[in-house]
């Protein structure tokens, strides 16, 4: 057992025990309220650059396996838990959470009062921080403060680090869809294949002319990390595509569509990250329990004429969906593919299929 420390940019220190890899890591400290799905959280590219705190007190109780990864491996900078289970019990278990993080060189800290840490973030807002298992730092964590305070948490390089490096195709018998990959989750690709779409996945910085050269029936913008304003080339691409073919997006893709339409975005105080966020579909007058992972949102007061809000977050009233009147364009902030228990939101994939017919 190795002593470890988490220090935040305001000087707040949380002590605990290291697990996973050893060393020092820096990132934006956020929290996720999901009770399960910790491996999906670890491997979600939208968490690139972040130190993730799990609010549920026991993490790792069903182990880890290759099937539950949302990308090639963990994308988080660091991992904070109350208790890291050392003896998981599940028939699908392949590795403990400790061994999994150690294999992928991710530093974790356990035995942290995650309830106090979460309350602190909710009060102060998202903070930069560092985790260290280096014993000279553990005895004097303040020595990391200058580096923590200088940390740049958003950058165009975040998306570049998680997007695909090549164009590839997932063949289907349905309409061809070009997917702009800003850090796409594997389950989104599985949902697209379930629709029988003929999917062509392209890097985040692909130009509109190249996208159109694939003769798609529609364009899908994926989730991804960071501030949507950090990918201006994607916003410019979407502007060129508007009016030429159907568009839809999830999470970061939703925000990029919003910016291309003329909306504004803003940073949330502590973001929405978890699997139990209530969202109301205004057209259907129905509420859905959704999975979410984002730190930015569309400013509802900035919508231009012809753009309407379709979904609202019932916790704080923020915009969760947009639709363009008289054009085949819509997007949602939450993750309809994540299925946090119910699978009700999969109708959105059906809607986009109908738009392309």
DSSP 144-167: GHHHHHH-----HHHHHHHS-SS-
The pair of three-digit structure tokens given for residue 56, joined into one six-digit string: 């549920």
Closest CA to 328 of 173, 175, 163: 175
The pair of three-digit structure tokens given for residue 83, joined into one six-digit string: 């208790």
50-54 and 127-132 as β-strands: parallel, antiparallel, unpaired?
unpaired
Closest CA to 21 of 45, 7, 42: 42
Rounded Cα distance between 161 and 90, Å, is: 33
H/E element holding 297? strand 286-298
Q: What is the DSSP letter of 335?
A: B
Active-site residues: which are they? 251, 335, 337
Rounded Cα distance between 139 and 142, Å, is: 9
What percent of the chain is helix, strand and coil (3-state, nearest 5)? 30, 35, 35
């Amino acid at each position: 057992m190795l002593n470890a420390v988490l220090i935040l940019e305001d000087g707040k220190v949380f002590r605990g025990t290291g697990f996973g890899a050893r060393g020092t890591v820096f990132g934006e400290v956020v929290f996720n309220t999901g009770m399960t799905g910790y491996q999906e959280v670890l491997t979600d590219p939208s968490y690139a650059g972040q130190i993730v705190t799990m609010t549920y007190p026991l993490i790792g109780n069903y182990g880890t396996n290759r099937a539950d990864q949302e990308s090639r491996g963990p994308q988080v900078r660091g991992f904070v838990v109350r208790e890291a289970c050392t003896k998981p019990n599940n028939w699908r278990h392949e590795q403990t959470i400790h061994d999994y993080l150690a294999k992928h060189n991710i530093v974790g800290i356990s035995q942290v009062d995650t309830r106090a840490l979460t309350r602190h973030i909710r009060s102060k807002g998202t903070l930069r921080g560092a985790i260290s298992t280096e014993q000279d730092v553990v005895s004097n964590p303040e020595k990391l403060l200058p580096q923590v305070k200088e940390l740049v948490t958003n950058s165009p390089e975040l998306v570049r680090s998680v997007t695909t490096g090549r164009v590839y195709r997932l063949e289907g018998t349905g309409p061809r869809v070009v997917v702009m990959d800003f850090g796409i989750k594997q389950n989104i690709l599985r949902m697209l294949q379930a629709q029988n779409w003929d999917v062509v996945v392209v890097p985040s910085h692909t130009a509109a002319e190249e996208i159109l050269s694939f003769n798609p029936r529609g364009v899908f913008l994926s989730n991804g990390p960071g501030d949507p304003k950090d990918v201006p080339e994607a916003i410019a691409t979407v502007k060129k595509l508007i009016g030429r073919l159907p568009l839809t997006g999830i999470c970061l893709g939703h925000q990029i569509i919003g910016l291309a339409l003329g909306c504004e975005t803003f940073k949330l105080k502590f973001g929405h990250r978890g699997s139990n966020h209530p969202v109301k579909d205004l057209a259907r007058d129905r509420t859905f329990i959704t999975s979410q992972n984002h730190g930015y949102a569309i400013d509802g007061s900035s919508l231009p004429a012809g753009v309407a809000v379709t979904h609202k977050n019932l916790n704080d009233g923020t915009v969760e969906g947009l639709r363009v009147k008289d054009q085949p364009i819509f997007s949602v902030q939450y993750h309809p593919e994540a299925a946090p228990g119910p699978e009700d939101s999969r109708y959105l994939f059906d809607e986009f299929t109908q738009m392309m017919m």
